[in-house]
Structure 1
Amino acid sequence: MKPIVRPGGRSARVQQAVHTAVRELQDELGRPELTIPLVAARAGVTPSTIYRRWGDLQELLSDVAVEHLRPDTPPEDHGHLLNDLRSWAAQFLEEMASPIGRAYIRDALLGGPDGDNAGQCSAYAADQISTMLARAAERGEETPDVETVIDRVVAPMMYRILFRPDGLTEEYALRLAQEAVEGFGTTR
């Protein structure tokens, strides 16, 4: 996985304080009650700091969502691509289909008119998939490319999460993983 470039020094402290304030206030008051002045007071910064850096509340919520959706660790190595992908897909679906996951997805999609935040979330998934595919290739397994896995696993899950949430089971995730690797010699 590529390292995430993060701001350093005061900028990093401000970002951390503001993100923490958003998460705490959402837990305490609920999302509808959030305001920039309330977040600023909790974070110990001025509202103008938040407006200058994030522009508005939606962009701030989107930034918090993207940070939350960033994986903390590489995907587990189960010794075979299909096993790796099954495990990852089941975990991905569980996290993203949860009420908090859906809220973060919506926030990521709504923030920033240029789509950078949604693109960053897509890059996280692509990096995780790339890690699994690289390990499989090192073991001599035939593998699909990243875009094939995105199209066959991530895209259908995200569509279902956002628009047709019925049937989002672990079995669904496992089936998508199986279908993603069929024809690449990795279906045992």
Structure 2
Amino acid sequence: MQESVHRAVRELVAESGRDGLTVPLVAARAGVTPSTVYRRWGDLQELLSDVAVERLRPEAPPADLGSLRADLGAWAEQFFDEMASPPGRAYIRDALAGDPDGSNAGQCSEYAAEQLRIVLERAAGRGEAVPELEVAMDRIVAPMMYRILFRPGALPGVLTGAGASPGSQGGVEYARGLVEGLLAEG
């Protein structure tokens, strides 16, 4: 049932946008009653939050490029590019807006932590010195999320030229700079 409701949300948003989205529309598309949706999710915002958390789940482990610097750099670039994109920012906002107890925010944070944990464990297995996981979260993930949530107009790459995107050179430099700052500490 959860998958059919999630799929219905994704399809309806893709077809018509979010403005006209209602629980009865989602329920009809999913083949369930609106009361089923309300019992499970409470309201539309909590449903959107649940869908967003699922969409923010990484699809694959981070790339293994052979060194901590390369692995962290590639991961940070991809993370920033995905989270700073318009769909990424919308998913983050949805995940947080329908999250009265903080569990969705915690789950999203755990996704990032697990990805970093994989990178750090690989590097440690190669004999490289690695920072603590929470230090990596504080130095790489936290500044990115702050920019994405509270300073979206100042996202690197967004202001570097007409039509620039977060994945442009400015975003790459920003992500790599955070990684270099972390590694310089250690």
- TM-score of the superposition, structure 1-length normalised? 0.89
2:119 match: 132
Q: Which runs of structure 1 show a deviation greater than 2 angstroms over 4 or more consecutive aligned residues?
A: none
Report what 2:164 is aligned to. Answer: none
Cα distance per residue 1:116-164 (max 9 Å; x no partner) = 0010000000000000000000000000011111110100000001111
Which of 9, 14, 36 is matched with 1:27 structurally?
14
For residues 40-81 of structure 1, the C-alpha deviation after alignment (integer angstroms, 9 at most, x for no partner) is: 000011111111111110000000000000001110001101
State how far apart, in whole Å, the 2-side matches of 1:112 and 1:159 are.
Answer: 18
Check conservation: 2:116, 2:133, Cα contact below 8 A: yes
Matched, 1:141 2:105: no
**Letter of the 1:161 counterpart:** I
| Identity in percent | 65
Following superposition, the deviation at residue 112 of structure 1 comes to 2.4
Local SS of the residue matching 1:182: helix
Mark the CA change 1:54 to 1:91 in structure 2 (over 3 Å): closer, same or farther. same
- Distance in structure 2 (CA, Å) of the matches to 1:39 and 1:153: 37
- Aligned pairs for 1:140-179 (under 5 A) are 140-165=127-152, 166-168=154-156, 169-179=171-181
What is aligned with 1:183?
185
Q: Which runs of 5+ in 2 are unaligned?
A: 157-170
Give the corresponding residue for 2:26. Answer: 39
Q: Structure 1 stretches of 5 or more lacking a match?
A: 1-13
1:4 counterpart residue number: none
Equivalent residue for 1:16?
3
1:115 CA displacement: 0.5
2:148–2:155 contact (8 Å) kept in structure 1: no
Q: 2:35 & 2:92 partners in 1: Cα distance?
A: 26
Written as runs of structure 1 = structure 2, the 5 A alignment for 1:46-57 is: 46-57=33-44
Q: How big is the shift at 1:178?
A: 1.1
CA RMSD for the aligned pairs?
Answer: 0.8
Query: Who is 2:105 aligned against?
Result: 118
TM-score scaled by structure 2? Answer: 0.90
Q: In 2, Cα distance between the equivalents of 1:152 and 1:105?
A: 19
Count residues in correspondence: 171
